[in-house]
Amino acid sequence: MTRAISLTINGKHYEHDVEPRLLLIHYLREVAGLTGSHMGCETSLCGACTVELDGKAIKSCTMFAVQANGANIVTIEGLASPEGKLHPMQEAFWNEHALQCGFCTPGMIMVSKQIVERNPSPTDTEIREGLDGNICRCTGYQHIVNAVRTAAKAGA
Amino acid sequence: MIANAFEYTAPQSLDEALGLIAGGAKPLSGGMSLIPMMKLRLAAPEHLVDLARLKELNYIREENGELHIGAAVTHYEVESSPLLLGKCPLLAETAAHIGDIQVRNMGTLGGSVAHADPASDYPAALQALEAGIVLRSAGGARTVSAKDFFIDTFTTALEPGEIVSEIVVPVEPGLTGTSYQKCKHQASGFAVVGIAVRARRENGVVSLIRVGVTGLSGSSYRAENVEAALQGVEPTGEAIRAAAGLVAHSVDASADMQASSEYRKHLASVYTAKAIHAALSRSA
């Protein structure tokens, strides 16, 4: 049995009938067609599926789409301006070479945005604690920490 | 990983939710434990009732010398609440140890307490705070002490049809100090052991001490032998070390890949001493 949901994603209104067991990440990628958020571990450990739901970073692999009925979601696709100007956090990841393969990057950027929103001048320890729920298998994290610090200094 | 099919209801009121739960539906709160279990098909509820957005379960307020925290309050709201940071810093400090930012944004106090994972963080704090846990069903409400609520692994005093609806913590005078010290599982973030202490020093001796333990065994507990050893005693380093050494006495300590039962017991005594020192240093 399906249920009707209606929600806002990156400023755009969406309405669909979905099965209650459909995970939010599958909804975003396969129904809404927004493939920027990645499905990594499927077990709430890696954070690649992180999106913002009503201003809070959450793991969209550990939430059913029906729970997001009425919510306002921002995914990685919604960070840059319509003209293509990158969000300061995206800019910092680019400038600091904070990615190699890029698979974890959407989630890293979404959680980093939350870290800086809640703590505008985080220490490196606070940044690392904030990134606790996101795994990167390429970079060794140092450049990601540099990017978050740089973005915070730039007032991201 | 796809969960079994289920029916989903987002109720308009707590009464509606409790009515459905009385009929056999299962409560869903933040879903941080339930949804992974459903994806692995370790759990396959036929009907989920979503409590997360009910206003009647979303509040943190002070009333008659007690703090009342609704079950659907998230870990992030607990860790960042000015009221809790001011009047029950132990609960806020404990919440900040849970999982990661994303988990704390979704996971709820009531959900975690009801799930009663033996390695979860809150039980240690609730034991040390001598908190009350309000259980509500379509038939009414009752309050159970933390000590009586946590029975065993994933086993609590909850009866069928009941949910955890509120946590109640007495507000204490400023001279009480608290601390939560945790040895964190490096992969999962759960507590290999977690020790919460609430203590007061007056006239050079310990006038109050409560010690809550999580992670060590199948259920959280109050280490009353540690408390008795320090009550009325001058808290020298030697006295604290000796008392902390009793924390795992006659406890059937868990063993896993992360820590043998012998090592867990050793960790428990070390972290108990750390938590007692930290709590007393914060006791005015």
Q: Summarize pLDDT for B185-237 with one digit per residue, the tens.
A: 988 889 999 999 999 999 999 999 999 999 999 999 999 999 999 999 999 99
Looking at the structure, tell me whether residues B183 and B277 fall in a common domain: yes
Domain that holds residue B134: 57-170
Report yes or no for ipTM above 0.90: yes
Q: Tens place of pLDDT for every residue, chain B, 284 residues? A: 899 999 999 999 999 999 999 999 999 999 999 999 999 999 999 999 999 999 999 999 999 999 999 999 999 999 999 999 999 999 999 999 999 999 999 999 999 999 999 999 999 999 999 999 999 999 999 999 999 999 999 999 999 999 999 999 999 877 899 999 999 998 888 999 999 999 999 999 999 999 999 999 999 999 999 999 999 999 999 999 999 999 999 899 999 988 999 999 999 999 999 999 999 999 97
State the first-to-last Cα distance of chain B, in angstroms, to the nearest integer. Answer: 52
Nearest-CA distance A58 → chain B (Å): 4
The answer to whether position B266 is within a domain reads: yes
Number of domains in chain B: 3
In whole angstroms, give the CA distance from residue A40 to residue B18. Answer: 36
CA B47 → CA B9, B56, B75, distances in Å? 8, 21, 25
What pLDDT does A79 receive?
A: 98
CATH assignment of the domain containing B102: 3.30.465.10
If you measure CA to CA, which chain B residue comes closest to A112?
B101
Mutant choice from A67, A109, A129, A148 vs B, greatest count of B C-beta within 10 A: A67
pLDDT of residue A155: 84
How far is B59 from B71, CA to CA, in rounded Å?
8
Nearest CA in chain B to A64: B35
Domains of chain A: 3-77 (3.10.20.30), 88-153 (1.10.150.120)
In a domain, B2, yes or no: no
If asked whether residues B182 and B232 sit together in one domain, one would say yes
A10: left (phi over 0), alpha (psi -120 to 50) or beta: left
The H or E element spanning position A58 is: strand A56-59
pLDDT tens digits along B84-112: 999 999 999 999 999 999 999 999 999 99
B166 and B198, same structural domain?
no
Cα(A79)–Cα(A111) distance, rounded to whole angstroms? Answer: 12
Assess whether B165 and B61 both reside in one domain: yes
B269 assigned to some structural domain: yes
In-domain check, residue B112: yes
Of the partner residues A58, A66, A130, the one whose CB lies closest to the CB of residue B8: A66
Say yes or no to pLDDT of A1 above 90.
no
Binding-face residues of A in 83-112 toward B, CB within 8 A: 111
Q: Are residues B144 and B235 in the same domain?
A: no
Residues 6+ apart with CB under 8 A from B276: B179, B197, B199, B209, B211, B230, B235, B240, B243, B244
Domain contains B1 = no
Q: A16: helix, coil or strand?
A: strand
Partner-chain contact A111 B105, CB within 8 Å: no
Q: N- to C-terminal Cα distance for chain A?
A: 43
